Amino acid sequence: MSKILFVMTGAEHWTLADGTAHPTGFWAEEAVVPYRAAKAAGHEVVVATPGGVVPPVDRASLAPEFNGGQEGAEQVARALEEMTELRTPMKLEEVDLDEFAAVFYPGGHGPMEDLAVDAESGRLLVAALDSGKPLAVVCHGPAALLAAVRPDGTNAFAGYRAAAFTNEEETQGGLAGQAKWLLQDRLTEAGLDVRAGEPWAPHIVVDRNLITGQNPASSAAVAEELLKRLG
């Protein structure tokens, strides 16, 4: 079967407007759901991060209230234990895109800290987009698209329709007023056409080979579309 590259944050915190380091990482559901779907379909998953650091999970994403109760939280925690690939990630700069059939970026606030400004990730995203391979990104993962700049200074994703964590969701989550910048605003400024769905409800947007999901609840639909593209 195919190899899928999971590009994940290495950031343990998100720097707020007042300089506070807000604990973060990747959002568990957004990695676990697509991972399990990919493995169930027989695909191989390889994880890559900036510098090859072990991706930190956002501890908040393991709480029962974000997983439908205690049983759901325990299931997610067990699933993370099964993801042995998380313990031995590649360095982004060592990734050979030719080895992979698809690329996936989960979210969490971590990408707002590192992938949004990571030039190596940006180059990988431009190459993935231009290759025509399925490229799937969910929730705050689209922050990474901000670093996908072509030599002429334009964003490679300008003109693409996309979904991403919205200003309304950031506001309802209680962090919009503390943020240096908001993802929906920055993506729009970069030239993307952000299509917002209902807060917290599954919502995906597909434009050419770009598959994007708005929030954690969109993870399953993003994974389903990605796997459909792989046949």
Q: What pLDDT, in 10s, does the model give residues 153-184?
A: 999 999 999 999 999 999 999 999 999 999 99
Rounded average pLDDT over 104-130: 98
Q: How far apart are alpha carbons 146 and 4 in whole angstroms? A: 22
For residue 67, the model assigns a pLDDT of 94
Share of the chain above pLDDT 70, in %: 100
Q: For position 185, what pLDDT does the model report?
A: 98
Whether 196 and 228 have beta carbons less than 8 Å apart is answered as: no
Predicted local confidence at residue 222, as pLDDT? 98
**Please, which pLDDT band fits residue 1 given cuts at 50, 70 and 90?**
confident
- Residue 215, helix vs strand vs coil: coil
204-207 vs 210-213, strand pairing mode: antiparallel
Predicted confidence (pLDDT) at residue 98 exceeds the cutoff of 90 = yes
Distance, in Å, from the CA atom of 108 to the CA atom of 186, rounded to the nearest integer, reads: 16
Cβ atoms within 10 Å, residue 119: 13
pLDDT-based confidence at residue 7 (cuts at 50, 70, 90): very high
CA distance 213 to 111: 15
Rg, Å, the chain Cα set: 16
Please write the tens of the pLDDT for every residue from 21-76: 999 999 999 999 999 999 999 999 999 999 999 999 999 999 999 999 999 999 99
Share the mean pLDDT of the chain. 97
pTM higher than the cut 0.95: yes
For residue 192, the model assigns a pLDDT of: 98
